[in-house]
Amino acid sequence: MSPSAPQKITWILGLVLGILGIIGHYTHVDILTEHNYILLLVGFVVLAAGTTFKGL
């Protein structure tokens, strides 16, 4: 099992979730600040799953 490049939509989704988590950490936006660590975690998991499973 070797890593593969994730599909473009998977990569964009993981990137957007990670960026929203970072924004929520450094600024005060109610919904983002409340869930910033969850957004970062989900973004990382999406990127990790995209590289682990082919076609995701």
Amino acid at 41: L
What's the token pair of residue 21? Answer: 């988590």
Q: Count CB-CB contacts under 10 A for residue 50.
A: 22
Instruction: Give the pLDDT confidence of 3-52 residue by residue, as tens digits.
Output: 888 889 999 999 999 999 999 999 999 999 999 999 999 999 999 999 98
pLDDT digit string, tens, across residues 39-51: 999 999 999 999 9
Cα dihedral 38, 13, 24, 30 sign: negative
